[in-house]
Structure 1
């Protein structure tokens, strides 16, 4: 569910007409709904009711400070994968002891920064990282609370680029080596084992892979406890999918996901940590763009819009589907025609949809890409010399620009020409 609905023939973000935001801020523009963010956090919290749990929002999905602050005010911790994301969490008012630091390539400097901020937990991805962390922690005279991320060799049945739990993926320690690496962790100075971590991928639309992975985690937890390790937290990652193609998809609900968690690991008496990102932020955002041209090609029609792949790269990178809706509600029974929705970048890959059946929409009119709140702005770039687009947060009948569009002068000022170029 989201709070982007037609009212009186016009698409609204909560109580604000989307066209009003576009008129005030320009296009393209990302628009986020506070009510949707809050609701999605709440349903996860309710899904784990009756268990000790900690919800760490995955900052990589959408790291806007206003989004982070909204979720922090609801009680969320943060899951980060870099020092930059850690600093974003801190800037949004989230203390280090409510931050989980994940990621396969943490540097010694990043580990040192995390420990200086009293990080809640470091999810260690390799034996090599463990040795580095021990050296850093010992040099600082502190103890690093860790969970080892194990790779359970479970096929998440998701897009190959976002699957993380198979043996050939770069993530985690092979489950067959878990006892060996935990034994090493227990022997190293500056290390405190507090838990076990697993994350098998993103945009999962089936609960079976979760059940398989979590069952392996339960078995391994009992084995590690028998080896003498105090496993008191289970970090189960994130990955629950959302409906992008709203008419055809029905991913599992957080309540059902919570039931799987309780059924597989609930008997272990551990604090459950989860790290949702996409399900909280995805349907809480839309990308609004204006049609530049309706171009007649050879046997096809191109709808050229002012958003591009640098603003929303998911269709180009993942062949992702986003529902596309005119901002002015089509008349009942309006005839649809197939069009290719494309951006202005000089690449054929700058295509949002091919052969998409849409009602009549022409130059100057607005359309919205739904489910764009996750991995939209956070993956954007200035490719082709295009400024990053603004982000707007709506709350009720109010809206605020929470990231402004930079000017061309601001973009150019970040570069310098060396003296030898005159």
Structure 2
């Protein structure tokens, strides 16, 4: 293959009305248009699939999110949700920017500390954390979101042995999601606040948090208002440090233009998928950007008209937010090499393109759904005036190993040796459920920086 002659192609929206052409950051467009030879060399040398991670875009997203909170009149501490991507480069960027990190395990905490994030900027979340995680959190002055009375007692015992005071948020169930398995019920919350007062030598109650499914700005604002009231109630009972409300993550990301998304939703049917797969739920790929969601949450009226941010400011409440996907928007993409093409157009009406890799490297399948933004086709062959409908399969022996169940309308036949590019995969797609199935190596991550654009992109393997 003559790498320098590769042509970047988009699935043809005009010939397939429900195409979902992925949005692209200018840096991503530059890499794909001007540095295809580098990307192809990296894929050839490092293996398929290969994740390209772009910390410069992560850093832009941090600045934009900080600006959105400031413009909304809200005082907010941003903690990057490390679970959204295991790449160390994002933690390094977070440390350089004075950003916090949210972790939920000992290895995540160790990597955050090793990446340069000080303990007082690290939040510890997750249900019923073990004693080792508690001990490290206390030692490094991390902020621990406690999920139950039993965990609160264990954490206090750990702090007592260490002769330290643990900083704590109490995670509570919301009125809108009372059946959640996470957090304290109303009665448990009352008991936990009383226990914090009793154990004040070892526990410092700093505020409240909640777990919320979904992307409703109004629901998140309503839940945050509940937590403000819990802070005020705790203060009345003597806990003057109850000043934080953690609104979690759940800030949406826009992957495709809303008009394309609306057209897709209207036309979607099982016939558009391999084996007529009938998916019941999808991520809202055409939703509002994260910064717009922040403004909507902060401006949401509470208590008869006052905005959430105004109420928080009036009561000296500071927000904590834990975005993962939102900070990783456009900050990475994934390359696959085409390994084989089974052309079934004469019998089934579409082909099955098998790539070197598997659906374990695009984690949307874990949610029993499909990653919908169209992959790009990179090929040395010229564009043909022919729509080539195909699904994309992984190379394992599993029947359900489909990287893309949806039939993609490629603008020419896909051939062995071609490359597929899945855009905007840094947020939860790259490594939420990767697996060395068949003894396959886990995909590598190449950290790429364009810098000022004066020279060629710089790259290195993540973690080195």
- Structure 1 residue 332: Cα displacement: 7.9
Q: SS in structure 2 opposite 1:362?
A: coil
1:342 Cα shift?
A: 0.6
Q: Residues 4 and 350 of structure 1: is their aligned pair in 2 closer, same or farther, counting only changes over 3 Å?
A: farther
The 3-state SS of whatever aligns with 1:349 is coil
**Contact 1:207–1:252 at 8 Å: present in 2 too?**
no
**Out of 133, 152, 164, which is 1:110 matched to?**
133
Q: What is the deviation of 1:293?
A: 1.0
Q: Partner residue of 2:314? A: 267
Residue number among 184, 196, 218 corresponding to 2:208 in the alignment: 196
CA contact (8 A) 1:316 1:349 kept: no
Matched position secondary structure for 2:328: helix
Match of 2:390 in 1: 339
1:158 alignment counterpart: none
TM-score of the superposed pair, with normalisation by structure 1: 0.84
Instruction: Quote how far apart the aligned CAs of 1:252 are.
Output: 2.6
Please tell me the root mean square deviation across aligned C-alpha atoms, in Å.
2.5
1:295-343 deviation line (CA, Å, top 9, x unaligned): 0345131010112023223224441324211235997895433211110
Secondary structure in 1 matching 2:86: coil
The runs of 5 or more residues in structure 2 that have no matched partner are 1-23, 262-284, 300-306, 451-456
2:377 matched residue in structure 1 = 326
Cα distance change, pair 329–35 in 1 and its aligned pair in 2 (3 A): farther
8 Å contact from structure 1 (residues 13, 394) kept in 2: no
In 2 relative to 1, CA 140–13 (structure 1 residues): closer, same or farther, beyond 3 Å?
A: farther
Partner of 1:29: 50
Kindly state the Cα deviation for residue 22 of structure 1 after the two structures are TM-superposed: 1.9
In structure 2, the partner of 1:11 is: 32
Q: 1:237 to 1:6 in 2, by over 3 A?
A: closer
Paired residue secondary structure (1:173): coil
CA deviations over 1:235-284 (Å, ceiling 9, x no partner): 11111122345542432333333322353134332221111111112431
Per-residue CA shift, 1:139-173, capped at 9, x if unaligned?
1111111010111143xxxxxxxxxxx33332111
Q: Is the 8 A contact 1:303 1:341 kept in 2?
A: yes
In the alignment of these two chains, the number of paired residues is 388
Give the TM-score normalised by structure 2: 0.77
1:356 alignment partner in structure 2: 408
5+ long unaligned stretches in structure 1: 155-165, 405-422
1:416 corresponds to which residue? none
CA displacement, residues 336-362 of structure 1 (integer Å, 9 cap, x when unaligned): 332111101111221122222222222
Q: Does 1:90 align with 2:113?
A: yes
* The 10-residue stretch of structure 1 (79-88 or 108-117) with the greater mean CA deviation from structure 2: 108-117
Give SS of 1:11's match: helix
Q: Note if 1:308 corresponds to 2:358.
A: yes
Counterpart check, 1:222 vs 2:232: yes
Identify which range, 378-387 or 268-277, moves more after superposition: 378-387
